[in-house]
Homo-oligomer: A and B are copies of this chain.
Amino acid sequence: MRYKTVIVDDHPIVISGIAGLLSDLENIEIVQKFESGISLLDYIEDHKIDLILMDIFLPIINGVDLCKTIKQKHPKIVIIGMSSQSERSLVMQFIQNGGNGYILKNASFDEFKNCIYKAIDGEIVFSEEVKTIISQPLSEDLERIPGLSRRERDIALLLSQGKSTQEIADDLFLSFLTVQTHRRNILQKYKMKNVAELITFLLKNNMLN
């Protein structure tokens, strides 16, 4: 049996690179290439597909949402995500939305081939560098940081827009004193001296938006 495979990437060069790589694999058949997720969604309704290799950073619709949409209707299709750089949270998000694996584009040809074969066999696969990314920071980066509550995030966002305590209170229909308490709690939670340090911290850790 030959696995009907499609490639989704907004870089023509990358598509041709992957296509060249996959042409070595006998039981993989490339049936189509796409530069956006929209065109893939059209195609998928009328054609049988077994395997999808997709870039995560795509125009219009991103890889995570694309994966989720496809998996809802076609759970049997094996989907492998790719990107140049990667963050732990992004990889986890992709897997939680049904992805069968994640490969960094700096992976070697052998890594690519191994991952694809294992994914077809039903395994969840990661390229080497992805493995180190998702295993290491678990103890320090994500578990150490408590995370903002909904209200705290609202207030932090308004703080980053330069609003004063009074303005935030007016915006959220709260008492001045309530907002003041939230401010203090946020600062204490991360042991920050003032909003300046807090916002630097929040922005660098992508905790706003």
Partner of A204, one of B14, B112, B162, B203: B203
Q: Which 3 A-B pairs have the closest CB atoms?
A: A162-B197, A17-B17, A13-B17
Interface string of A109-145 (1 = CB under 8 A from B): 1001000000000000000000000000000000000
Task: Identify which of A195, A196, A198 gathers the most chain B CB atoms within 10 Å of its CB.
Answer: A196
List residues of chain A with CB under 8 Å of any chain B CB. Answer: 10-18, 20-21, 35, 57, 84, 105-109, 112, 159-164, 192-200, 203-204
Q: Give chain B nearest CB distance to A81 CB in angstroms.
A: 14
A170 to chain B minimum Cβ distance, whole angstroms, is 15
How far, in angstroms, from A129 to B17 measured CA to CA in the complex?
22
**Could you tell me the distance between the alpha carbons of A152 and B121 in the complex, rounded to whole angstroms?**
58
